[in-house]
Structure 1
Amino acid sequence: MQNRISSFPPLIDIQSEILILGSIPGVKSLEMQQYYAHPQNKFWKIIFELFGEDFTEDYTKRMETLKKHHIALWDVIDSCERKGSLDSEIRNEEANQIAELLEEYPNVKVIFCNGGKSYKNLQKALGKDYKLPIILLPSTSPLHTVSYEKKLEDWVRILEFLE
């Protein structure tokens, strides 16, 4: 098995209203030290299209766009062993402290999970009847073969929770 990998710190501030959780960064994201860095991952394309923003490759501007729209990012897994980037290869995982994060940032009113692994792990960590809505969205990973149009159609749900 590969060496242990770790997630990034949460990208969140006191004005964050939406928390988007992935499982743990893939190889390209770890290499670049950026959330959703794989060029074929549709996360950033979806976010920019949802908010009618001009797409950019500039990571600082991507972070500013999330902040502007009160969106926080993190992962449900703090660390694990994994070969490659597949969630199915995750072994010996340790959870992030999601409940503690949510207590520290009480303006978060909904959690969206980017894919099934984050959703299952979050339900295990917080319980199925957690006080905030937890919504499963299709993974933006290129390995999840749902069309871009279908992913975007489902990800539009984020807009329902913003004022």
Structure 2
Amino acid sequence: MKIQSFPSISDANAKILILGTMPGAQSLTLNEYYGNRRNHFWQLLFAIFNEPYTTDYQEKKSLLLKNHIALWDVLQDCVREGSLDSAILQEVPNDFTNFLKAHPNITHIFFNGQQAAKFFKKYVTVDNNYTLVTLPSTSPANAGISYEGKLKAWRQILR
């Protein structure tokens, strides 16, 4: 099945870009980044910024913008059955050349998992002005790392 990613959540003040690979099936159904309630992404971000967690999607988006974070996916579209990144075929990357030009304050790009980093490095070349950091995937499929372990790693965003 051919699927498409969402538009970025971003504004001109973004200093950090967090990249996933492609929304999973539940996220696509809900039309929300990290819509799978078992995915730790939103819980981790609210914990990192010492904010009370909420399921309200508008408040989630506001948390990102308030903390100068842009959120997007590496891939614009692909063919995939199910939600696993390992099942991605016929991938097409998003337009990072224009995105980064439109967001000149971004200095750090964080990848939500190895697959996001892999696809980014396959299709995108950026200069040394950017710090690239691969973080553990927040996906429930990444059960090898505890929530606490993910939280410790994801705190790098604060530096």
* Bin of the TM-score, shorter chain as denominator length: over 0.9
Q: Structure 1 unaligned runs (5+)? A: none
1:25-64 alignment runs, 5 A limit: 25-64=23-62
Q: 1:12-23, aligned counterparts within 5 Å?
A: 12-23=10-21
* Alignment match, 1:77: 75
Give the superposition deviation at 1:104: 1.0
Shift of 1:140: 0.2
Which residue pairs with 1:155 in the alignment? 154
Between the aligned residues of both structures, percent identity stands at: 43
Quote the residue 1:4 is aligned against: 2
Structure 2 unaligned spans of 5+? none
| Number of the residue aligned with 2:86 | 88
Residue 129 of structure 1 and its aligned partner are, at CA, apart by: 5.5
Q: Distance in 1 between matches of 2:131 and 2:141?
A: 26
Paired with 2:126 and 2:77, the residues of 1 have a C-alpha distance of: 23
Report the TM-score when normalising by structure 1: 0.94
Query: How far 1:122 moved relative to its partner?
Result: 1.1
Residue 124 of structure 2 corresponds to 126
3-state SS in 2 of match to 1:53: coil
Q: Residues 114-156 of structure 1: CA distance to partner in whole angstroms, max 9, x if unpaired?
A: 0011101111223376430110000000001111111000000
Amino acid at match of 1:64: S
CA deviation digits over 1:3-60, x for unaligned, max 9? 2100000111011110000000000000000000000000000000000001000000
Instruction: Give the aligned residue type for 2:103.
Output: Y
Q: Distance in 2 between matches of 1:80 and 1:140?
A: 21
Count of residues paired in the alignment: 158
Please give the alpha-carbon distance, in whole angstroms, between the structure 2 residues aligned to 1:130 and 1:89.
31
Task: State the Cα RMSD in Å.
Answer: 1.1
Task: Tell me the equivalent position of 1:140.
Answer: 138
Runs of 4+ in 1 over 4 A off after TM superposition: none
Secondary structure in 2 matching 1:83: coil
Amino acid paired to 1:138? P
Please report how far the alpha carbon of residue 99 of structure 1 lies from its aligned counterpart in structure 2 after TM superposition.
2.4
TM-score after normalising by structure 2: 0.96
